[in-house]
Chains A and B, each alone.
Chain A
């Protein structure tokens, strides 16, 4: 109950704080979620993607 009260008093009491925290939370979640999935993806497909083999073909001053 103390936790719920603290949550209510911190985030929900003022609408400006409530809305802002929802937007900030959505932003932080989407960034974190993407990072987590991409990490898993790159570990699973290690050595197969272009960025893994790109170093073999890149010359100096190349732009891709």
Chain B
């Protein structure tokens, strides 16, 4: 702020202050040397007491507070009382140690397979997964024969045939997973007005991702004292607002895993979230592997480029320039 003031203002102030202070405090001392020595402290004094300093410091403080308020929406160091509580925004989910969390970690594909079983037996009653086709499961969680058998269990409408009519046929690998409702209106009508979201990208589409969905699935509880939850809704502290239309669905031993894993509700939640995470990021494993390769190669190339630069610049960096002034021979 001081730098914004015209330099002449400060200068004239300091000169004025200096002459005044020398006139009053140092009147008895007459030698020019003493006056010269005291003038620097007088400059400092005038800097601290001058009107320009006061104005600029005030402007600086007011500007800082205004900027802070603009940036953060509230005054610093001033207590506030809000009518809504932080619980209205939903609890922050815990960070869980997913098997695929690390930089080098792939999905746990056995977990994806179990998660698909949970999706098919539990979630698929209300939620669609319309970006995943049966073929996507092949080589990820199921063999081609298994996926084909799963697809054939579902009837799809195809056509038109050569008479122009639609017909039913068993599913193929290229078919997408069947939606539970024909359209959004049917889904809302079946769920008391609430639309069960499509789960294809749900892990990417929610803040907190896998941690959030896991916390939501396992976080159902009785509403705390004073919280009213409408009929047909449940209380879940992780859901923004607390009232969620989906009731708790994961109870122990709801499904029977084919690999003998105990089907606790947290195990099922972990498996379904791993499956949904795969559905949202099918490229995940390959992406991380490619990332490793790219990081190794590009850091090697970067190191080489630094070496080459140093090599090319050695001549310039190590030279010395001498200047021999021409001797003027005439004098």
Contacts and interface: CB of A to CB of B under 8 A. Distances in A.
B248 interface: no
Contact of A62 (B141, B145, B285): B145
Interface residues of A, number: 21
B143 A49 contact: no
B146 interface: yes
Would you list the 7 A-B pairs with minimal beta carbon distance, nearest first? A64-B144, A45-B106, A50-B109, A48-B108, A62-B145, A64-B143, A44-B104
Interface in A30-58: 33-34, 37-38, 40-41, 44-45, 48-50, 52-54, 56-58
Interface stretch (B30-38, B54-62, B180-188, B288-296): B288-296
A50 B104 contact: no
B270 interface: no
Interface string B267-300: 0000000000000000001000100110011000
A7 B289 CA distance: 35
Given A37-B289, A57-B143, A64-B139, A49 B109 contact: yes
B105 A45 contact: yes
A62 B248 CA distance: 39
B144 A63 contact: yes
Contact of B140 (A34, A50, A52): A50
Contacts, number: 55
Contacts of B142: 57
Contacts of B107: 48
Given A57-B142, A62-B143, A62-B144, A48 B99 contact: yes
Contact of B104 (A45, A49, A53): A45
Interface string B75-112: 00000000000000000000000010000111111100
Contacts of A15: none
B141 A37 contact: no
Contacts of B110: 48, 53
A5 interface: no
A56 to B, nearest CB: 8
Contacts of A58: 143
Contacts of B47: none
A2 B196 CA distance: 75
B42 interface: no
Contact of B106 (A34, A49, A54, A64): A49
